[in-house]
Amino acid sequence: MLKQHLSQKLLQKLSPQQIQFIKLLQLNTLNFEERMEEELLENPALENGKDDEEELDFSFSESEDIDYESTKDEFDISDYLGDDDGGVQLSGDYQGDTEEKEFMPVVYHISFRERLLEQVTGALKTSEEEILADQIIGTLDDDGYLRRSLVAIKNDLLFTQNVRTEEATLARILGYIQDLDPAGVGARDLKECLLLQIKRKQELGNNPIYKLAYSIIDEMMEDFSKKHYARILKKFDISEEYLRETLEFIARLNPKPAQSGSEGAESKDFIIPDFIVKENYGSLEVSLNSKNAPELRVSKSYNETLQGFDVSKKKSQTQKDAVQYIKQKLDGAKWFIDAVKQRQNTLLITMRKIVEIQQEFFMSGDESDLRPMILKDIAEQIGMDISTISRVASSKYVETDFGIFLLKDFFTEGITTDSGEEVSNREVKKILKEAMEAEDKKKPLTDEALKDILQEKGYQIARRTVAKYREQLNVPVARLRKEL
């Protein structure tokens, strides 16, 4: 028998407006602009335009003050229908109607899969082979490797396209694909990728280095990858000079064939900074990079239409439904505009505090001037939640007089030196990087040796911490850095 009882629970729920603000906050500039364009298409009560009376200028100099407390309050999103402002200005550094907006050109690139399909067509004899080739090419990873087994591809064809085939037939089609450009595409692992490229070189000319390189990769891939050069020298009975030339040839091969040549250029990302920090006569100016962001306002025509319905005394059911629809769209437009305003203010308040703490770096550009700083430091000083600061720092960049930096790189742990001074771990990483770049490549520095170098400079760091920083710098262990 069911028993009923009362209980009290304290729950924290986010309103739809708060959820919308959070989603906007974590977007970078490019994705934010795309989201604004989507909202303009989805909500007819939202228009692209600016209000002549009200503008929001989101550029602040280091000497200006920001009221941190006021930004914590939620925007008033009630009573939208009586609002006469018509919209808000969202351009972070708007300088008048004559300002030209900058747009990224849209260029169409043919993908490497489309290029492979064009090449392989001539080698295929039947429509069934075209289906098999299309399936294999479509399964390739973005780097050009085929990491799905032929048995799995065979099952995919059967279940998705009702095409029955044999593994041997797929292997034959894969052979056609592996003969295409770029060399190495369609390989199932690094070893096969390198062998395909060396084989292509051998077809162009009979060079003994090509033959030795093929034998090393084919017979001693593990020793090669672990740089056990002594074993290779003994196995093939060759001189160090001959091996060095062969290794230099192998190093010029491409481990990611689909990203070679034009493909490599295609895969590069353009970094669009979210913030701009400029030094101006001894002070730092912080602004949002929002030149391409559309300016938003609530549609006046929708407001006027709604007011027209309100003055009519009798309303049909159709008119009532129309009024409800218009109110929903107007509410949605105002909520979105308020969320955008709150996003812009939160971004600037957070960035200004970061600049204030890291002022020495933004003035000099020297990484050694970076101070230890964590998310909690910013959150406490501006009175916001750590999760909010984390969303601000996520996937965002800042343009300075010394280049473009990832915002999260300014958040670093602190390390205390022998003198009691607290410094950023970025300074320690810089010392490690310089030490490894200057090391003797025949006898690279071990993590223990790197630890000793740091301790001599006054940084008491454990070897495991050195290993962690080395890995964060994407530098392999000493054995793998060894050269002949």
Name the residue among 454, 455, 435 with its Cα closest to residue 445: 435
Rounded CA Rg of the chain: 31
Q: Is 367 helix (H, G, I), strand (E, B) or coil?
A: helix
The stretches in the chain having pLDDT less than 50 are 52-64, 66-108, 261-268
Nearest CA-CA partner of 178 in 161, 199, 150, 205? 199
- Give the chain's count of helices (H) and strands (E): 21, 9
What was the pLDDT predicted at 330? 85
| Residue located via tokens 């080698």 | 123
Q: What whole-number distance in Å separates Cα of residue 320 and Cα of residue 401?
A: 57
CATH superfamily of 414-481: Homeodomain-like (1.10.10.60)
How many CA atoms lie within 13 Å of 438's alpha carbon, on the beta-carbon side?
A: 8
Residue 6: CB partners within 8 Å, gap ≥ 6?
none
Locate the DSSP E strands across 226-358: 275-280, 283-288, 296-298
Phi, psi for 288 (deg, rounded to 5):
-90, 145
Residue 419: predicted pLDDT: 66
CA triplet 30, 36, 38: central angle to 5 degrees? Answer: 105
* Backbone phi and psi for residue 364, each to the nearest 5 degrees, phi listed first: -105, -30
Where do the structural domains in the chain lie, given as residue ranges? 16-93+274-404, 111-181, 188-253, 414-481
Taking 3-state DSSP, the helix, strand and coil percentages for the chain, each rounded to the nearest 5, stand at 55, 10, 40
Bond preceding residue 105 cis, omega within 30 of 0: no
Both structure tokens of 381: 């000083």
Tens of pLDDT, residues 194-204: 999 999 998 88
Contact between 414 and 423 under an 8 Å Cβ cutoff? The reply is yes
pLDDT of residue 424: 73
Q: Which contiguous run of DSSP H or E holds residue 395?
A: none
Cα–Cα distance for residue pair 183/112, rounded to 1 Å: 12
Question: Angle 250-251-257 (CA atoms, 0-180°, nearest 5)?
Answer: 85
CA pair distance 368, 412, nearest whole angstrom: 12
- Supply the pTM of this predicted model: 0.53
Q: DSSP label at 394?
A: T
- DSSP class of residue 99 equals P
Task: Give the whole-angstrom CA distance, residue 169 versus residue 172.
Answer: 5
- How high is the pLDDT of residue 222? 92
Angle between the N-to-C axes of helices 386-393 and 375-382, in degrees from 0 to 180, rounded to the nearest 10: 120
CA angle 282, 287, 288 (to 5 degrees): 160
Q: Which amino acid is at 362?
A: F
What phi and psi values does residue 400 have, to the nearest 5 degrees? -125, 180
Q: What is the dihedral of CA 131, 132, 133, 135, to 10 degrees?
A: 90
CA 360 to chain centre: 27
Residue pLDDT, tens place only, 304-350: 776 666 655 566 777 777 778 888 888 888 889 899 999 999 999 99
Closest CA to 227 of 242, 213, 247, 202: 247
Contact between residue 41 and residue 331 where contact means Cβ atoms under 8 Å apart? no
Q: What are phi and psi of 99, to 5 degrees?
A: -70, 135
Identify the pLDDT of residue 325. Answer: 83
